[in-house]
Amino acid sequence: MANKVYEIITGKILEELDKGVIPWRKPWKAASGSHTNIVSGKPYNGVNIILLGIAAFRGGFSSNYWMTFKQAKQKGGSVRKGETGTQVIFWKVVDKKVEDEDTGEIEIKKNFILRYYTVFNLDQVDGVKAPVTNEEVNDHSPIEAAEAIVDGMPNKPEINFGGSRACYVPMLDVINNPELNAFGLPEEFYSTLFHELVHSTGHKDRLDRFENNTQLAAFGSEDYSKEELVAEIGAAFLCGHAGIENQTLDNSVAYINGWREKLTNDPKLIIHAAAKAQKAADFILNAA
């Protein structure tokens, strides 16, 4: 049983790593907080956060509520036909009586048994509504100049909005970005989206910056860090074109500095990254 669960977890994580998902920056908040069981109201923890996060991104789910097939029925709903569930794990504690060989006394020892079960996202279920919360909802209006940049990008990748994750997947050539109203400031929504659009210019059908490596480089590696510098500097350039850099530049500088510190103190590093970022921004602005 344990080996089966470990295989499920390892397989899903390796699958996502093989697809080259670029981890995200997060100036937004998830609409419903942590991944939570809709019946118990308890948030999932440990590796289940990773498993459910992967499933939510791959499925394009906007909800953070999950339930088993039985729980869906208990709430008067039903899992839609053809939907695939996500396996999560838990440890069951079992008391076991053990006799001491020397004294003959009986001790109670706790054994931890690994179990797994299948859950479905609220978006996969009919007839069940999310709990009503008092969470404050932003009501931002789109920024016209920034929208024009996104709309005008040539050979644009597919962009999906929703969920609680922003990233670019090179192998699929797809961007996922949280909704506008998930951000505290509308400018940060566009800064984040611009960051992912700059990543997408590295695709072989655009500027071919990834040198035919659709997986890019390992998180935290030198190549990965350099690409993050390019993406964030490029996003800052695009914010400048949209006239919103005054609201986003401080965050960008802090983010860029964090990645720069993972590299050498080479003074030319930012210059080289900025040159690539300019090419990316020009491509997005159709000025290349």
Q: What are phi and psi of 111, to 5 degrees?
A: -110, 140
pLDDT of residue 254: 66
Residue 287, pLDDT score? 78
What's phi and psi for 37, nearest 5 deg? -75, 125
CA dihedral 162, 174, 262, 209 (to 10 degrees): -160
121 and 212 belong to one structural domain: no
Whether the per-residue pLDDT at 228 is higher than 60: the answer is yes
Query: In this structure, is residue 276 part of a structural domain?
Result: yes
Q: 58 falls in which pLDDT band (50, 70, 90)? A: confident
What are the pLDDT digits (tens) for 21-54?
555 456 666 544 578 999 998 888 877 887 888 8
SS3 15: helix
Q: Does residue 42 fall inside a structural domain?
A: yes
Whether 98 shows a pLDDT value over 60: the answer reads yes
Q: How large is the average pLDDT for residues 110-131?
A: 89
Which one is predicted more confidently, 59 or 276? 276
**Does 78 score more than 80 pLDDT?**
yes
* Same domain flag for 113 and 158: no
Percent of the chain at pLDDT exceeding 70: 75
Where is average pLDDT lowest: 64-68, 119-123, 136-140, 152-156?
136-140
How far apart are alpha carbons 51 and 181 in whole angstroms? 25
Q: Which tens digit of pLDDT belongs to each residue from 161-205?
A: 877 678 888 888 999 888 898 888 899 999 999 999 999 999 999
5 or 165, higher pLDDT:
165
**Does 18 fall in a domain?**
no
Residues 106 and 205 in one domain: no
In a domain, 115, yes or no: yes
Check whether residue 113 and residue 173 sit in a common domain: no
Rounded CA separation 244/257 (Å): 20
Nearest to 66 by CA among 81, 56, 54: 56
Query: For the chain, what is the domain count?
Result: 2
Query: Would residue 226 count as lying in a domain?
Result: yes
| Position 101 in a domain | yes
Does 238 lie in the same domain as 106? no
Distances from the Cα of 46 to the Cα of 1, 26, 65, angstroms: 19, 20, 16
Q: What is the mean pLDDT of residues 232-252?
A: 81
Q: Are residues 112 and 221 in the same domain?
A: no
Which residue among 126, 156, 185 closes a domain?
A: 126
Do 238 and 108 share a structural domain? no
Q: Is the pTM of this model over 0.75?
A: no
The residues, ordered by sequence, that sit 6+ positions from 158 with a Cβ below 8 Å of its Cβ are 172, 173, 174, 175
Please check whether residues 92 and 218 belong to one and the same domain: no
* pLDDT (mean) for 205-230: 73
Average pLDDT over residues 137-158: 92
Structural domain harbouring 198: 139-284
The pLDDT mean for the chain works out to 80
> Mean pLDDT highest for which of 2-6, 35-39, 284-288?
35-39
